[in-house]
Each structure stands twice: as structure tokens, then as C-alpha cells.
């Protein structure tokens, strides 16, 4: 189980490569949703999943979506 507070993850946009800051809500893990890049506005598929270690932060993976 994850802590109840939000945390932040920085990862590069799969479209433009700019670093993005994503807010992750541990209460909604696992999750899969689309978020637009804050720089190039392209759609990004965000995958958030649990790790085997229950004390570790969730894994966050970004994919270029659409087109």
C-alpha cells in the first residue's frame, strides 16, 4: 500500500523529449490514462503500476498516444 499523499514524477515526453512533471495519486494505482504534454500538447498514454516491493513508489511509464 502506498502513502496517501500525492507525489511527483519527472519523465521526458515521448513526443518532444521535454521533461514533464506528473502528479501521481497513489490511491488510484494501478491506472492508465491520457494526459496532454504541457509543452507540445501531444497526447501521452500514462501507465501507473505497482511494484513488487510494497514500499516502493509506483512505476510510471509514458507512451506516445494516437496519430
**pLDDT confidence band for 33 (50 / 70 / 90):** very high
**pLDDT confidence band for 41 (50 / 70 / 90):** very high
pTM for the predicted model, two decimal places: 0.82
| Domains in the chain: boundaries | 7-64
Distance CA 59, CA 16 (A): 21
Q: Are 33 and 47 in contact (CB under 8 A)?
A: no
pLDDT in tens, 44-59: 999 999 888 877 888 9
Q: Are 2 and 55 in contact (CB under 8 A)?
A: no
What share of the chain in percent tops pLDDT 90?
63
Q: C-alpha angle 32/22/4, rounded to 5°?
A: 80
Amino acid at each position: 500500500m502506498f502513502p496517501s499523499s500525492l507525489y511527483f514524477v519527472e519523465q521526458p515526453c515521448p513526443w518532444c523529449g521535454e521533461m514533464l512533471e506528473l502528479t501521481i495519486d497513489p490511491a488510484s494505482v494501478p491506472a492508465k490514462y491520457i494526459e496532454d504534454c504541457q509543452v507540445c500538447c501531444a497526447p501521452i498514454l500514462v501507465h501507473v503500476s505497482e511494484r513488487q516491493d510494497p514500499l516502493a513508489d509506483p512505476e510510471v511509464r509514458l507512451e506516445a498516444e494516437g496519430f
